[in-house]
């Protein structure tokens, strides 16, 4: 590992990360996105103390009617005017029909850590709608500070200072504005990366299953990481295997306990059409539906500038690999991030920018880490060559 940068460089780098962390928190508080998912997450949090679905529905929309501007509330609730668009009837029905409202909740209850934090803040006196995006802002801010701790002793300050603006470009600051668990997932991934870089195997074995309580689809990132740890850490294989087993139990247990309607229904809901009764009347997903969505998603993917930037990072990383072993830390992170992106896209082939800031940021970190290692190897070879020449001369 190269010598740590001097104090002035560390301070300047820290101030940059702190500025971006502060911006994430400010955006969360003063410029949130009032996305429709706030309906489901408020209801899921309130359901810890209110089991009646009609009462949950009344509480949720009353809360939103109080805190949101009238125009935003009407867009979410569609009380006065049904309007147009593929989700118009869905929004009206969920607002007016308690049975339809209840069948949407499993989509949101399967994020128990995020929902639980909303409930805790609500019980502490924070407005429940405000809590949904405040958690996101705090999580993104903490994630950027954890990223600083990960890179400050591993990267040259110039490379380390590129990561916050890159994370911003990838959409990390937008995550702070959403009433979704994506900001918390961003934090979970970067905390896992920090412990992985530090080789804190015990912390990783605990954190990897718990992260699935934030978003179950994080298993697409954690499973490859567990496999890599199992291959490269023979002394800790028993604990790594237990962590893998706990991850599978957490994943299956969450989906089963909260009666999630399953992948096919989720796919149909997100990619094809909003489905009002996913539990009592699930849709039928055909192979043609999937292939059509995959083709359309691929076309959109290849037109996405951020994804093309990601591909550019992968190409650059391949150029810097040289003699790096596949078991080296940056290569493992690069592959785990790729598995996350590919798996997530194949499961739901459409590009919502909020799904990918974490693996994009991890890829940038891995690329810079590879550059650092390659330059360190070159410097070592040059030093060894000079020493050998001096020895021959003497």
Dihedral (C-alpha) 272, 277, 280, 283: value to the nearest 10 degrees?
A: -10
The arithmetic mean of pLDDT across residues 162-185, rounded, is 97
* CA 237 – CA 226 distance, rounded (Å): 10
Task: Give the pLDDT band (50/70/90) at residue 311.
Answer: very high
Over residues 348-392, the pLDDT tens digits come to 997 677 899 999 999 999 999 999 888 776 655 555 544 444 445
Tell me, what's the pLDDT at 388? 42
Tell me, what's the pLDDT at 252? 97
Tell me, what's the pLDDT at 323? 61
Tell me, what's the pLDDT at 198? 95
The gap from C-alpha 115 to its chain's centroid, in whole angstroms, comes to: 16
Over residues 49-81, the pLDDT tens digits come to 999 999 999 999 999 999 999 999 999 999 988
pTM: 0.94
Tell me, what's the pLDDT at 387? 46
Measuring CA to CA, how many Å separate 18 from each of 136, 160, 253?
16, 13, 38
Tell me, what's the pLDDT at 319? 84
Dihedral (C-alpha) 238, 243, 244, 245: value to the nearest 10 degrees?
A: 90
CB 5 within 8 A of CB 129: no
Mean pLDDT of the chain: 92
Domain borders along the chain are: 7-47+105-260+304-375
Over residues 287-307, the pLDDT tens digits come to 999 999 999 999 999 999 999
Helix (H) or strand (E) holding 174: helix 172-175
Question: Which ranges in 181-328 belong to alpha helices (H)?
Answer: 182-197, 201-211, 219-232, 237-257, 263-267, 287-302, 305-321
The arithmetic mean of pLDDT across residues 219-230, rounded, is 97
The gap from C-alpha 31 to its chain's centroid, in whole angstroms, comes to: 20
User: Which of 7-11, 46-50, 278-282 has the weakest average pLDDT?
Assistant: 7-11
Tell me, what's the pLDDT at 305? 94
Tell me, what's the pLDDT at 110? 97
Tell me, what's the pLDDT at 390? 47
Tell me, what's the pLDDT at 379? 55
The two structure tokens encoding residue 233: 């850490």
Tell me, what's the pLDDT at 4? 58
User: Which of 153-157, 230-234, 326-330, 346-350 has the weakest average pLDDT?
Assistant: 326-330
Task: Give the pLDDT band (50/70/90) at residue 239.
Answer: very high
User: Which of 11-20, 232-241, 323-332 has the weakest average pLDDT?
Assistant: 323-332
Tell me, what's the pLDDT at 383? 57
Over residues 83-141, the pLDDT tens digits come to 887 789 999 999 999 999 999 999 999 999 999 999 999 999 999 999 999 999 999 99
pLDDT at 145 over 60: yes
Tell me, what's the pLDDT at 350? 76
């Amino acid at each position: 590992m190269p010598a740590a940068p001097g104090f002035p460089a560390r301070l300047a780098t820290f101030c940059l990360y702190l500025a971006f962390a502060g911006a994430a928190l400010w955006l969360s508080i003063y410029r949130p996105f009032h996305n429709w998912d706030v309906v489901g997450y408020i209801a899921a949090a309130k359901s810890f103390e209110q089991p009646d679905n009609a009462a949950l529905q009344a509480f949720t929309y009353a809360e939103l009617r109080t805190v949101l501007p009238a125009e935003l509330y009407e867009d979410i609730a569609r009380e006065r005017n049904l309007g147009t668009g593929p989700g118009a009837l869905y929004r009206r029905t969920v607002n007016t029909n308690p049975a339809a409202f209840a069948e949407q909740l499993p989509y949101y209850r399967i994020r128990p850590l995020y929902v639980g934090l909303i409930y805790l803040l609500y019980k502490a006196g924070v407005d429940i709608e405000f809590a949904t995006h405040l958690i996101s802002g705090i999580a993104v801010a903490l994630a950027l500070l954890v990223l600083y701790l990960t890179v400050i002793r591993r990267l040259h300050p110039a490379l380390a200072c590129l990561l916050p603006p890159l994370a911003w470009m990838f959409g990390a600051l937008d995550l702070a504005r959403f009433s979704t668990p994506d900001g918390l997932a961003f934090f979970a991934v970067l905390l896992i990366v920090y412990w992985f870089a530090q080789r804190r195997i015990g912390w990783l074995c605990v954190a990897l299953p718990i992260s699935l309580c934030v978003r179950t689809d994080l298993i697409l990132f954690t499973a490859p990481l567990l496999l890599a740890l199992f291959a490269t850490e023979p002394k800790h294989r028993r604990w790594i295997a237990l962590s893998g087993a706990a991850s599978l139990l957490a994943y299956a247990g969450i989906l089963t306990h909260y009666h999630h309607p399953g992948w096919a229904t989720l796919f149909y809901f997100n990619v094809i059409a909003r489905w009002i009764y996913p539990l009592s009347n699930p849709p039928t997903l055909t192979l043609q539906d999937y292939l059509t969505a995959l083709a359309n998603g691929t076309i959109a993917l290849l037109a996405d500038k951020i994804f093309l930037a990601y591909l550019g990072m992968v190409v650059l990383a391949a150029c810097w690999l040289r003699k790096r072993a596949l078991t080296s830390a940056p290569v493992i992170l690069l592959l785990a991030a790729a598995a996350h992106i590919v798996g997530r896209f194949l499961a739901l082939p459409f590009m919502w920018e909020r799904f990918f800031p974490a693996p994009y940021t991890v890829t940038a970190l891995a690329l810079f880490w590879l550059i650092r290692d390659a330059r360190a190897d070159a410097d070592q070879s040059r030093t060894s060559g000079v020493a050998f020449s001096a020895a021959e001369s003497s």
